[in-house]
């Protein structure tokens, strides 16, 4: 198997040099304002990792408060200044921390960092295209994201603090600076940043969709696409349909805040005066927000479905079980994700009949999700599993997805949601299913495609250390939160000691905080491994995982245009692993059936 | 000096870790394991496979132990009729998902361990099996249908219209406390308006409305045991949420949109004190929708009385306006202004 690798490598190398003569890009064109999808993907990846550390750091700070509510943290004063008074976190600062943690993780890391990296990197490489449909729009997408990032980051340093009304920014709290100081300049910058972020997402999304539809190489029919591409394709469609709704919600909120309109405001008396606003509906914002917000969680998790399916199939050395069922379930999930948003609103006073409808629609989603889990398990069954770091993360992803997904069956039930709504049960549920699981999917993708991105391997041993510490701490943090949630502990509480009902579990909360700090520290191992391997990692071969998809037919360091010669033609689906009769346990997509007569199935003989 | 020492030892520790990492890398090159495809080396696979199995067993045991250990703290004492339905539905659903959880996690980790790479082995080419896939689509569908049906029935019961004889309590959220109003002997709450709010009349009650004259505003909620209680919920500034953890009650308080929730308390405060062995026990109201700085401190006491005690308590309450008669004088002037205000708005409307 290694001999084939080397020969591909050689061919490509000569051609690559020739290819290079065509272009003389300066530094800015090549690395900064690049229109090459691979460079843009790396830019999104670096951005995502940066934001991941910021978001994780914020969570460590508020976990300190929750773990040791009586302690003083004087050592934080040099960093946070006025937000720490006599060693105690300011309660509004605490709310700002949880708000920014949520915003950063959901949007900047798991939407931009995840889709931005892997959709950009893999779509052209895996469908056999030279680049995205519009390289220029793609570049704009990153730089608008960059601008949104700067504004959001800047808002962290305002003296009145960043937005503090929760990542869902429900008005009137987010509309009235009198209600919380974060709703002043911090909220304005949040809205501006998010508006730009949405523009970036739409530019990216249009590009992904167009590229998948139009630029597939010869032979690459939709039913020969790797599941990653199906996942990115559906993610982009979800984003394209739902982000504009968030945009309008944000726009109306801007009007209410700055121009005296009353879209969301009515009958309010605050700071000693009754406001003139009348006739608005605070619930309207929630409907608009969750019309994006619910598809958003699938925007976060769908790409990782694709990544994990691909990595599990490759490393089990088996075709993904039920390829069409996997596509079907992703289609089903995407469709359903648009009609379940109000399950976030069972106790807002919405008509109970609507609650019944949304409960019914929500629980249907469990069916395609269950199918996906069963198919992953069936793929592992009788495989010949290679434990690469990526594969470890993929296996753990399935575990976390099961653990977090199952409690969704409880929360989707409106009768049970009465008690559990806005408690730590919800926190435990969504952190496992779309937080930890999505992060594991992202790590899985980084470890797996690192050789194609940087031409070097990440260190596997450090990868395993990183994996085990992260996996352990993910469960240690989020499993106990279920207990706290069943006891009814409300979320976004600065401290629970004021209530007799919530005056328990203090030890458990300290334990969770210790686990969270452990988990955060373990990410430094990843950071070291990532940066070190970019420069000093072992050199990769063209196809180090012996994978079937097209990106591994490119040179080790694919140049501009990806393939130095002609774009390969596709003859088969991407999952011909361990096919009986084949000499190797993998047959790449670009190998024609005429070359694999020994392993062709009866119906494939006609295609020889 | 101490910070310097700590800093230095951290640096040294990092240097040592880095050296260990380099030695490990060089040793693996020396052993030749870098020549093999990643994920096919024997020791690494054995270690990871064993750790996966250990994680399943150790993690499962830790989960079972901690769950049992947290059981008492996890279950808030129950004090309402519908709470018994939702609690039993909750634990039934937990058992169902618990079974799925155990089976799928065991399969996941055991398969990963059992089918780890061996050089001489080859994976089984098994792309699909339609019969199997239909079976495992149908099973969750049927289970979900049953759960939806059970949930829908419970939900419909809980959210049905409150009985006509329900005790009405108005609860209003504000930053950062709760205000409560009872309709008094006439059983009718007087009108209220956000524009009438001031430092004394915090709920903005319109005292020109005769129904408001006997309304009273106690410092804690009292409700009779065994009788339906209807909470009429509103907010005067941002969204709050009324949460009664022991009664399994939660409903948002939304400015501009009154909401409601009714329930039947099934245990008096005194009974609960004996049951929990805690003489200090009190039912509490908490806020569960982020509302600002004092979100975590919106505590209010709710007392469940025996019906006769409740009647006594009710009789001992004096109407708000009797306690604050100065409000009424001020109020008559206010209402005139109010009338003028309303007229002017009507004019605007007709102009439009």
Three-state SS for A416-457 is HHHHHCCEHHHHHHHHHHHHHHHHHHHHHHHHHHHHHHHCEC
ipTM attached to this prediction: 0.92
Q: In angstroms, what separates the C-alpha of B186 from chain A's closest C-alpha?
A: 26
Residue A204 scores a pLDDT above 90: yes
Section A62-90 average pLDDT: 89
SS3 label, residue B209: coil
Please report the pLDDT score of residue A2 as a whole number.
Answer: 38
Q: Is the peptide bond before A62 cis (omega within 30 degrees of 0)?
A: no
Chain A CB within 8 Å of residue B91 CB = no
Instruction: Write out the DSSP string of B97-143.
Output: HHHHHHHHHHHHHHHHHHTB--TT---------HHHHHHHHHHHHHH
Best B242, B290, B299 residue to mutate vs chain A (most A CBs within 10 Å)? B290
CA-based nearest residue to B22, from A186, A459, A29, A335:
A459
Residue A20 scores a pLDDT above 80: no
Q: How far is A259 from A536, CA to CA, in rounded Å?
A: 55
SS3 label, residue A136: helix
Alpha carbon distances (Å) from A444 to A381, A435, A499, B269:
20, 14, 42, 53
Nearest to A356 among B76, B152, B296 (CB): B152
Residue A8 scores a pLDDT above 50: no
Question: B44, A464: Cβ pair inside 8 Å?
Answer: yes
Residues in A touching B45 (Cβ below 8 Å): 386-387
Element housing B171 (H / E): strand B167-174
Please report the pLDDT score of residue A298 as a whole number.
Answer: 95
For chain B, residues with pLDDT lower than 50 are 340, 343-344, 346-352
Question: A403, B101: Cβ pair inside 8 Å?
Answer: yes
Packed helices A437-454 and A114-127: angle between N→C axes, nearest 10 degrees:
50
Q: In angstroms, what separates the C-alpha of B148 from chain A's closest C-alpha?
A: 6
CA B342 to chain centre: 40
Q: How far is A365 from A337, CA to CA, in rounded Å?
A: 8
Question: A349, B254: Cβ pair inside 8 Å?
Answer: yes
Best B29, B122, B162 residue to mutate vs chain A (most A CBs within 10 Å)? B122
Alpha carbon distances (Å) from A388 to A315, B41, B294:
8, 10, 48
Question: A479, B63: Cβ pair inside 8 Å?
Answer: yes
Residues in A touching B49 (Cβ below 8 Å): 387
Residues in B touching A263 (Cβ below 8 Å): none
According to DSSP, residue A84 is labeled E
Question: A538, B86: Cβ pair inside 8 Å?
Answer: no
Q: In angstroms, what separates the C-alpha of A221 from chain B's closest C-alpha?
A: 18
Chain A CB within 8 Å of residue B79 CB = no
pLDDT interval class at A3 (50, 70, 90)? very low
Residues in B touching A377 (Cβ below 8 Å): 104, 107-108, 111
Lowest mean pLDDT among A10-24, A61-75, B144-158: A10-24
Closest-CA residue of chain A to B76: A487
Question: B108, A267: Cβ pair inside 8 Å?
Answer: no
Question: B155, A380: Cβ pair inside 8 Å?
Answer: no
Please, which residues bridge with residue A273 across strands?
A270
* Whether A341 contacts A362, CB under 8 Å: no
Best A413, A463, A509 residue to mutate vs chain B (most B CBs within 10 Å)? A413
Lowest mean pLDDT among A7-21, A288-302, B33-47: A7-21
Q: How far is A427 from A171, CA to CA, in rounded Å?
A: 21
Question: B175, A179: Cβ pair inside 8 Å?
Answer: yes
Residue A74 scores a pLDDT above 80: yes
Superfamily of domain B167-325, CATH level 4: Cupredoxins -  blue copper proteins (2.60.40.420)
User: What contacts A65, CB < 8 A, 6 or more positions away?
Assistant: A73, A89, A94, A494, A495
pLDDT interval class at A76 (50, 70, 90)? confident
Residue with token string 């990115």: A232
pLDDT digits (tens, 9 = 90+) for A441-489: 999 999 999 999 999 999 999 999 999 999 999 999 999 999 999 999 9
Please report the pLDDT score of residue B38 as a whole number.
Answer: 82
Q: How many CB pairs under 8 A join A and B?
A: 364
Question: B112, A385: Cβ pair inside 8 Å?
Answer: yes
Q: How far is A385 from B112, CA to CA, in rounded Å?
A: 7
Instruction: Write out the DSSP string of B241-302.
Output: EEEEGGGTEEEEEBBTB-EEEEE-B-S-HHHHHHHHT-TT--EEEEE-S--STTGGG--EEE
Provide the residue ranges of all domains of chain B, joining segments of one domain with +.
Answer: 167-325
Residues in A touching B140 (Cβ below 8 Å): 366-367, 370-371
* Whether A561 contacts A19, CB under 8 Å: yes
CA A465 to chain centre: 22
Please, which residues bridge with residue B171 across strands?
B180, B233
Nearest to A384 among B24, B117, B289 (CB): B117
Nearest to A418 among B86, B258, B281 (CB): B86
Chain A CB within 8 Å of residue B289 CB = yes
Residue A164 scores a pLDDT above 80: yes
Residues in B touching A423 (Cβ below 8 Å): 288
User: What contacts A82, CB < 8 A, 6 or more positions away?
Assistant: A90, A159
Question: A367, B133: Cβ pair inside 8 Å?
Answer: no
* Whether B220 contacts B284, CB under 8 Å: no
Packed helices A135-155 and A37-67: angle between N→C axes, nearest 10 degrees:
20
Chain A CB within 8 Å of residue B349 CB = no
Question: B239, A165: Cβ pair inside 8 Å?
Answer: no
pTM of the predicted protein model: 0.93
What percent of chain A lies above the pLDDT cut of 70? Answer: 96
Residues 181-240 of chain B with CB under 8 A from chain A are: 194-195, 197, 204, 233, 236-239
Chain A CB within 8 Å of residue B128 CB = yes
Please report the pLDDT score of residue B337 as a whole number.
Answer: 52
Please report the pLDDT score of residue B258 as a whole number.
Answer: 94
Please report the pLDDT score of residue A488 as a whole number.
Answer: 95
Residue A270 scores a pLDDT above 80: yes
pLDDT interval class at A24 (50, 70, 90)? low
CA A34 to chain centre: 24
CB hemisphere CA count around B148 (13 angstroms)? 19
More confident position, B40 or A322: A322
Q: In angstroms, what separates the C-alpha of A76 from chain B's closest C-alpha?
A: 15
Q: In angstroms, what separates the C-alpha of B185 from chain A's closest C-alpha?
A: 28
Q: How far is A72 from A68, CA to CA, in rounded Å?
A: 8
Residues in A touching B127 (Cβ below 8 Å): 319-323, 575
Within 10 angstroms of residue B247's Cβ, the number of other Cβ atoms is: 28
Please report the pLDDT score of residue A23 as a whole number.
Answer: 56
Q: What is the 3-state secondary structure (H, E, C) of A539-598?
A: ECCCCCCCCCCHHHHCCCCCCCCCCCCCCCCCCCCCCCECCCCCCCCECCCCCCHHHCCC
Residue A128 scores a pLDDT above 50: yes
Within 10 angstroms of residue A64's Cβ, the number of other Cβ atoms is: 18
Nearest to A395 among B108, B133, B252 (CB): B108
Q: In angstroms, what separates the C-alpha of A317 from chain B's closest C-alpha?
A: 6
Task: Give the start-end residues of each E strand in B22-65.
Answer: none
Please, which residues bridge with residue B255 across strands?
B235
């Amino acid at each position: 198997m290694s001999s084939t690798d080397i020969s591909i490598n050689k061919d490509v190398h000569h051609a690559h040099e020739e290819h290079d003569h065509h272009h003389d890009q300066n530094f800015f064109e090549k690395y900064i304002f690049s229109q090459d999808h691979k460079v843009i993907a790396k830019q999104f990846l670096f951005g995502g990792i940066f934001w991941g550390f910021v978001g994780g750091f914020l969570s460590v700070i508020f976990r300190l408060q929750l773990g040791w509510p009586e302690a003083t943290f004087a050592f934080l004063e040099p960093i946070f200044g006025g937000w720490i008074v006599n060693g105690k976190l300011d309660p509004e600062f605490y709310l700002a921390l949880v708000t920014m943690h949520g915003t950063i993780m959901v949007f900047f890391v798991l939407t931009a960092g995840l889709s931005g990296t892997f959709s950009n990197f893999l779509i052209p490489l895996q469908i056999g295209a030279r680049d995205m449909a519009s390289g220029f729009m793609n570049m704009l997408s990153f730089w608008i994201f960059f601008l949104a990032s700067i504004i959001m980051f800047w808002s962290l340093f305002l003296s009145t603090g960043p937005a503090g009304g929760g990542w869902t920014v429900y008005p009137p709290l987010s509309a009235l600076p009198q209600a919380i100081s974060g709703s002043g300049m911090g909220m304005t910058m949040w809205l501006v940043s998010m508006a730009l972020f949405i523009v970036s997402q739409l530019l990216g999304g249009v590009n992904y969709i167009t590229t998948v539809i139009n630029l597939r190489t010869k032979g690459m029919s939709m039913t020969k696409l790797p599941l990653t591409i199906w996942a990115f394709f559906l993610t982009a469609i979800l984003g394209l349909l739902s982000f504009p709704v968030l945009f309008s919600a944000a726009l109306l909120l801007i009007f209410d805040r700055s121009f005296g309109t009353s879209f969301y405001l009515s009958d309010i008396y605050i700071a000693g005066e009754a406001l003139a606003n009348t006739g608005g509906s605070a619930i309207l914002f929630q409907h608009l927000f969750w019309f994006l917000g619910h598809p958003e969680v699938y925007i976060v998790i769908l790409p990782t479905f694709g990544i994990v399916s691909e990595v599990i199939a490759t490393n089990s050395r088996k075709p993904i079980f039920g390829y069409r069922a996997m596509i079907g379930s992703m289609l089903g999930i995407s469709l359903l994700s648009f009609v379940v948003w109000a399950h976030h609103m069972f106790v807002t006073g919405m008509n109970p009949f609507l609650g019944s409808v949304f409960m019914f629609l929500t629980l249907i989603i469990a069916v395609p999700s269950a199918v996906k889990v069963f198919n992953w398990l069936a793929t592992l069954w009788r495989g010949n599993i290679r434990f690469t770091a990526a594969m470890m993360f993929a296996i753990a992803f399935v575990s976390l997805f099961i653990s977090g997904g199952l409690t969704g069956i409880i929360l989707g039930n409106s009768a049970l949601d009465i008690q559990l709504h806005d408690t730590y049960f919800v926190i435990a549920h969504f952190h496992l299913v779309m937080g930890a699981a999505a992060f594991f999917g992202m790590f899985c993708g980084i470890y797996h495609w690192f050789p194609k991105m940087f031409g070097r391997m990440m260190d596997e041993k450090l990868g395993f250390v990183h994996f085990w510490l992260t996996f352990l701490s993910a469960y240690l943090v989020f499993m106990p939160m279920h207990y706290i949630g069943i006891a009814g502990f409300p979320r976004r509480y600065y401290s629970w000691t004021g209530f007799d009902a919530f005056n328990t579990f203090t030890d458990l909360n300290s334990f969770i905080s210790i686990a969270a700090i452990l988990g955060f520290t373990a990410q430094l191992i990843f950071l070291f491994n990532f940066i070190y391997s970019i420069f000093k990692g072992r050199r990769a071969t063209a196809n180090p995982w012996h994978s079937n998809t097209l990106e591994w037919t490119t040179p080790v360091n694919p140049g501009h245009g990806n393939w130095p010669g002609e774009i390969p033609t596709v003859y088969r689906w991407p999952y011909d692993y361990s096919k009986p009769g084949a000499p190797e346990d993998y047959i790449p997509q670009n190998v024609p059936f005429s070359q694999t007569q020994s392993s062709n199935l009866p119906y494939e003989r006609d295609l020889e | 000096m101490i910070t310097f020492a700590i800093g230095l030892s951290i640096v040294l520790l990092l240097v040592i870790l880095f050296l260990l990492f380099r030695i490990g890398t060089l040793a693996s090159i020396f052993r030749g394991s870098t020549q093999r495809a990643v994920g096919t080396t024997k020791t690494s696979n054995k270690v990871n496979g064993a750790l996966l199995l250990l994680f399943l067993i150790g993690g499962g045991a830790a989960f079972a132990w901690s769950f049992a250990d947290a059981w008492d703290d996890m279950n808030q004492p129950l004090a309402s009729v519908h709470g018994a339905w939702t609690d039993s539905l909750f634990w039934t659903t937990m058992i169902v998902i618990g079974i799925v959880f155990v089976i799928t996690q065991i399969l996941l980790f055991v398969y990963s361990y059992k089918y780890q790479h061996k050089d001489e082995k080859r994976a089984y080419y098994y792309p699909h099996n339609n019969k199997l896939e239909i079976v495992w689509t149908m099973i969750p569908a049927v289970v979900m249908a049953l759960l939806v049906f059970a949930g829908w029935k419970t939900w419909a019961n809980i959210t049905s219209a409150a009985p006509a004889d329900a005790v009405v309590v108005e609860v209003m959220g504000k930053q950062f406390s709760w205000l409560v109003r009872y309709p008094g002997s006439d059983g009718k709450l007087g009108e209220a308006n956000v524009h009438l709010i001031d430092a004394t009349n915090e709920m903005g009650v319109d005292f020109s409305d005769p129904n408001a004259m006997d309304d009273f505003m106690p410092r804690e909620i009292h409700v009779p045991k065994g009788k339906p209680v209807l909470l009429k919920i509103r907010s005067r500034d941002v969204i709050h949420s009324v949460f009664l953890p022991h009664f399994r009650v939660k409903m948002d308080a939304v400015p501009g949109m009154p909401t409601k929730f009714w329930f039947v308390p099934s245990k008096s405060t005194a009974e609960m004190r004996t049951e929990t062995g805690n003489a200090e026990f009190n039912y509490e109201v908490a806020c569960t929708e982020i509302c600002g700085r004092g979100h975590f401190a919106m505590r209010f006491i709710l007392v469940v009385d025996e019906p006769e005690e409740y009647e006594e308590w009710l009789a001992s309450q004096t109407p708000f306006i009797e306690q604050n008669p100065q409000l009424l004088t001020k109020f008559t002037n206010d209402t005139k202004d109010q009338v003028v205000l309303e007229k002017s708005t009507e004019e605007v409307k007709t102009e439009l």
